[in-house]
Structure 1
């Protein structure tokens, strides 16, 4: 097993497995990852806030993290409310510039 923490491994996994988040202007950050309890908390922000399919993305993250990491048994995915883009709740996330709900939705 590597010396990387569970949080670091989950962050790396998010970059590799969920590039769609960044491609659509969203952000993600691993808030908690406890290998002893099996609990992981991921927060989505940017254009994920208020997105009509963010619940599908969250379901995919939950399912895939539990399948891909033996020690993960419980995943919580939080999405900031549509008024919270750019707030401190999404610092450190991936995806470059944070976008707002009023930006053009040309990703479909």
Structure 2
């Protein structure tokens, strides 16, 4: 995992505890400091949650504000609710499944 990915993971734990508190999960799928791109995937109860789009927008805005090298953030929000069985400490991680049917979701 890259230094940027590790820093974004740490940031997610500190800044977005609401995700875990509500049974959701998040995974940093990509963090490229040279390109300025971060891809975060939400899972668990984020699937179908009425505020998942708001959470995604907050993550996008805040990551760009808090990390000078980040210019573009994509947050994938699952539509299916399917989540892989492997998780890491704090209920984060795992192989998340998501749909690309909605144009609002990556």
Range class of TM-score, shorter chain: 0.7 to 0.9
TM (norm. structure 1) is 0.77
User: Structure 1 runs of 4+ off > 2 angstroms?
Assistant: 90-96
Q: Gaps spanning 5+ residues in structure 1: where?
A: 99-108
Is 1:95 aligned with 2:91? yes
CA gap of 1:92–1:39, structure 2 versus 1, over 3 A, is farther
Q: Deviations over 1:26-46 (max 9, x none)?
A: 000000000000000000000
| 1:57-68 paired onto structure 2 within 5 Å | 57-68=55-66
Unaligned runs of 5+ in 2: 95-106
Q: Which has the higher contact order (CA 8 A, sep 6+)?
A: 1
Q: Is the 8 A contact 1:44 1:79 kept in 2?
A: yes
The number of equivalent residue pairs is 92
SS in 1 for 2:60: helix
Compute the displacement of 1:54 (Å).
0.1
Structure of larger gyration radius: 1
TM-score (norm 2): 0.78
In structure 1, which of residues 57, 71, 77 is the aligned counterpart of residue 75 of structure 2? 77
Contact 1:26 1:94 in 2 (8 A): no
- The equivalent of 1:43 in structure 2 is 41
